[in-house]
Amino acid sequence: MNTLAEFQQDMRRSYLWGATGIITSGMVWLAAAAVAFYATPKQAVWTLFIGAAFIFPVSNVFDRLLGAAGKHDKQNALGRLALESTIWMLMCLPAAFAISLYRMEWFFPAVLMVIGGRYLVFATIYGTKLYWLLGGLLGAAAYLLVSLSAPPHIAAFTGAVIEIVFGAALLVRAKSQTS
């Protein structure tokens, strides 16, 4: 494995184009939306934070159940980029939390912007411009949600729908590539 194309193919094959991670993330967003609606937005913030800690291990189980390796080749340089983008995302989340202390309804849009930015990096990791679309959709949704003063449960639900639909589409693509 020596070329960018080979690294990307390894990532796509190992993680089903990232689809299981996106779907798992979407389910966490859905849980946060339910908590925001039925309990409090503050509890929904913690639901998102705690649930996010389980996205990679849960999606990894799904990868394996669906026939993927769930781990990339140790020589794959893109694994390091994935880790670095994760660290960048984690470093941004305290800013989103600080925003929630000022205006709770801005928390979920702020996180949508952060993860949307991270997905832009996935365009390189997985070798598909579809991640530019996902990142752009999340960013546009965040802007719209703030502009409309959407309540937290609507913002979280919006993130859930975008990720689940996009993840499902990528999963179909991944499975069609392996068939």
Under 8 Å between Cβ of 36 and 153: yes
Residue 177 confidence (pLDDT): 83
Residue 179 confidence (pLDDT): 58
Is the pTM higher than 0.85? The answer reads: yes
Provide the mean pLDDT of the chain: 96
User: What mean pLDDT do residues 90-97 have?
Assistant: 94
Percent of the chain with pLDDT over 90: 97
pLDDT tens, residue by residue, 31-56:
999 999 999 999 999 999 999 999 99
- How many CA atoms within 13 Å lie on the side-chain side of 148? 13
Residues near 8 by Cβ (< 8 Å), separated by ≥ 6?
78, 124, 125, 126, 127
Angle at which helices 152-178 and 41-52 pack, to 10 degrees? Answer: 20
Residue 1 confidence (pLDDT): 78
